[in-house]
């Protein structure tokens, strides 16, 4: 009866993808295959009037914080006789605290656990604070209840996310809020792996690092988006960290958490980036040897501080720099994966390889879902969702090959 399109309005490519999805669903409505079309999310928050004008098939336009009202809105809509589009974006909204009744779109053994909404940083390239507002933590009680609920239903891997995970609890006046939350989550039966994403480097402190080191349920993994490493570029991006601070943070992580996997992201072609700035970034990556990186070319996004910058870098240069940086990282990945051959490591079994139906795949605790490579498992009758010891027998640039063994080495 109802089609709901949850949109993204972060960068130009995601806007286009969202609009294409709305148009596709609008066509289904025109064909009589649904009664109502609802659009929500970041794109509707930014461009609600424009979307309603251009796509009249939309019945209801909701903003990012109006999901709790959806059921009531649809109920009221059914009682109305006239069939006109309604823009709800500027109506009162409430922060959504509970996600327990959601249907998992991830495999039954894995779930994302959202800690908060919005972002209080002022990065020059980012529109998120304008769309989603300042950072607001969910209550510890709601997060713990959600984790307990899904753990009871077989979820053993939780990926902790928000726009700025390390800010968790600051607005609730919690001291070391993320550490407090992790301690509570670690007590839940059934949870085996917890992985931290979107950790702002400035707010990674010794208490958090020491807890990662001491709690076996917290994966030796940290996703720490850096965006750049040259101090001039960091200032241009309005980031709070410095190269010296980043180096100190990485050193402490690697000293206190031996074997920790570090993931980061970088932007190439940000306004004002010279070849000297890029070479500095390239050498930094060669030296530090991150475990995983993502590289994005700069998007000149309307509404951001950087949109007013004049010294734009041609896109072809940004793309070339991205490709060169990824090529360097590919060599690093190849070396790191080769070093794992011969080791016995715990692997979370995921199921049949989508490309090779006769192979089974899994992941290490140091491999996040979808983005960090996988473990290709030789002949095995292992059960999906189980964490089992595997001997690493081979490697490629991004993936590992393994076979099951009886137990972990003592």
Whether 357 shows a pLDDT value over 80: the answer reads no
Q: What's the CATH code of the domain at 48? A: 3.40.50.12160
φ, ψ of residue 315 to 5 degrees: the values are -60, -35
Same structural domain, 299 and 153: yes
3-state SS class at 344:
strand
Same structural domain, 129 and 245: yes
Same structural domain, 287 and 381: no
Q: What's the CATH code of the domain at 185? A: 3.80.30.20
Whether 390 shows a pLDDT value over 70: the answer reads yes
Q: Within a domain: residue 103?
A: no
Bigger pLDDT: 77 vs 321: 321
Q: Which residues contact 199 (CB under 8 A, 6 or more apart)?
A: 165, 166, 222, 223, 224, 225
Same structural domain, 253 and 136: yes
DSSP conformation class of 42: H
* Region label for 385, one of left (φ > 0), alpha (ψ between -120 and 50) or beta (otherwise): left
Whether 400 shows a pLDDT value over 90: the answer reads yes
What is the rounded distance in angstroms from the CA atom of residue 347 to the CA atom of residue 404? Answer: 9
Q: Which residues contact 20 (CB under 8 A, 6 or more apart)?
A: none
Q: How many domains does the chain have?
A: 3
Q: Within a domain: residue 99?
A: no
Whether 90 shows a pLDDT value over 80: the answer reads no
What pLDDT does 47 receive?
A: 84
Same structural domain, 201 and 311: yes
Same structural domain, 352 and 309: no
Same structural domain, 350 and 332: no
pTM equals 0.87
Q: Within a domain: residue 234?
A: yes
Q: Within a domain: residue 93?
A: no
What pLDDT does 13 receive?
A: 78
Please give the share of the chain, as a percent, with pLDDT higher than 90.
66
Q: Within a domain: residue 178?
A: yes
Which residue range is the domain that position 245 belongs to? Answer: 110-339
What pLDDT does 96 receive?
A: 61
In whole angstroms, how far apart are CA 350 and each of 107, 263, 373, 374, 382?
Answer: 8, 21, 12, 9, 10
Question: Among 149, 252, 157, 225, which residue's Cα sits nearest to residue 195?
Answer: 157
Q: Work out the average pLDDT over 134-160.
A: 95
Length of the chain as a residue count: 410
Q: How do residues 184-221 score in pLDDT, each as one tens digit?
A: 999 999 999 999 999 999 899 999 999 999 999 999 99
Same structural domain, 280 and 210: yes
Q: Within a domain: residue 285?
A: yes
Same structural domain, 367 and 247: no
Same structural domain, 311 and 352: no
Same structural domain, 321 and 369: no
Same structural domain, 307 and 391: no
Q: How do residues 268-280 score in pLDDT, each as one tens digit?
A: 999 999 999 999 9
Domain end: 282, 304, 339, which one? 339
Domain end: 291, 311, 339, which one? 339
């Amino acid at each position: 009866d109802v089609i709901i399109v949850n949109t993204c309005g972060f960068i130009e490519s995601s806007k286009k993808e969202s609009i294409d999805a709305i148009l596709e669903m609008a066509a289904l409505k025109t064909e009589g295959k649904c009664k109502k079309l609802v659009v929500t999310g970041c794109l509707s928050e930014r461009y609600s009037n424009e979307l309603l004008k251009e796509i009249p098939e939309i019945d209801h336009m909701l903003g990012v914080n109006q999901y709790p009202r959806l059921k009531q809105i649809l109920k009221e809509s059914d009682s109305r006789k006239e069939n006109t589009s309604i823009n709800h974006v500027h109506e009162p909204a409430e922060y959504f605290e509970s996600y327990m009744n959601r249907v998992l779109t991830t495999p039954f053994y894995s779930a994302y656990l959202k800690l908060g909404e919005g972002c209080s940083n002022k990065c020059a390239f980012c529109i998120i604070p304008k769309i989603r507002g300042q950072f607001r933590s969910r209550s510890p009680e709601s997060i713990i209840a959600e984790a307990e609920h899904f753990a009871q239903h077989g979820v053993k891997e939780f990926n902790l996310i928000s726009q700025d995970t390390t800010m968790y609890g600051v607005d609730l006046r919690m001291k070391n809020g993320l550490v407090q939350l992790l301690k509570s989550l670690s007590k839940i039966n059934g949870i085996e792996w917890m992985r931290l994403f979107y950790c702002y480097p400035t707010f990674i402190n010794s208490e958090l690092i020491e807890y990662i080191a001491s709690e076996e349920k917290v994966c030796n993994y940290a996703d720490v988006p850096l965006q750049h490493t040259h101090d001039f570029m960091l200032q241009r991006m309005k980031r709070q960290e410095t190269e010296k601070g980043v180096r100190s943070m990485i050193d402490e992580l690697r000293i206190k958490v031996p074997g920790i996997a570090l993931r980061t992201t970088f932007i190439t072609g940000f306004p004002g980036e010279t070849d000297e700035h890029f070479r500095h970034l390239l050498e930094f990556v060669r030296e530090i040897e991150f475990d995983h990186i993502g590289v994005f070319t700069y998007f000149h996004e309307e509404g951001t501080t950087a949109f007013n910058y004049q010294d734009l870098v041609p896109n072809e240069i940004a793309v070339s720099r991205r490709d060169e940086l990824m090529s360097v990282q590919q060599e690093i990945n190849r070396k790191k994966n080769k070093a794992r051959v011969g080791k016995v490591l715990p692997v979370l079994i995921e199921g049949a390889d989508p490309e090779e139906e006769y192979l089974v795949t899994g992941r290490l605790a140091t491999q996040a879902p979808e983005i960090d490579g996988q473990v290709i498992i030789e002949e095995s009758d292992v059960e999906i969702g189980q964490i089992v010891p595997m001997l690493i027998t081979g490697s490629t640039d991004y993936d590992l090959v393994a076979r099951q063994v009886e137990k972990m080495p003592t």
